[in-house]
Amino acid sequence: MSFELKTKMWLEKENCKVFGDGPWDILKRVDKTGSLRQAATEINMSYSQAWRLIKMIEENLGFPLLEKKAGGPDGGHSRLTPQAEKLTAAYNSFRDEADQALGKLYQKHLSTLVD
């Protein structure tokens, strides 16, 4: 039997979860699709729930994450703000480096015991 290391990471502010894998995933999907509604649908989340989540994160971070255009003849769309683009890129790099470092620690300390 082979084991695999799994981790969850997030940022907190005053013991309140502010940003983590879930919001990061939603923002990546908004960036790809141009739509918060579509991003929410892809992860089986209601649009209203995704909207509340984005608003809460924006409030906790102190900057907007999405630039939104209401529907019209061509429909509405959302795109990441420059701050959100920096945040998602930085979080992505952080995750990659953390996963690599934790993988090395797992190999060093646990792999011979559990594999």
Q: How confident is the model at residue 65 (pLDDT cuts 50, 70, 90)?
A: very high
Yes or no: say if 40 and 26 are a contact pair by the CB < 8 Å rule.
yes
Q: Which residue has the higher pLDDT, 73 or 83?
A: 83
- What are the angstrom distances between the C-alpha of 20 and each of 10, 16, 95, 112? 4, 11, 10, 31
Question: Would you say residue 19 lies in a domain?
Answer: yes
Is 62 strand, coil or helix?
Answer: coil
Give this prediction's pTM.
0.84
Assign residue 32 the CATH number of its domain. Answer: 1.10.10.10
- What are the angstrom distances between the C-alpha of 90 and each of 31, 37, 85, 104? 15, 24, 8, 21
Nearest residue to 33 (alpha-carbon basis) of 44, 42, 22: 42
Q: Report how many domains make up the chain.
A: 1
Residue 42 reports pLDDT greater than 80: yes
Q: Give the residue numbers spanning the domain of 95.
A: 10-114
Question: How far, in Å, CA of 61 to CA of 16, rounded?
Answer: 11
Question: Would you say residue 76 lies in a domain?
Answer: yes
Question: How far, in Å, CA of 111 to CA of 47, rounded?
Answer: 42
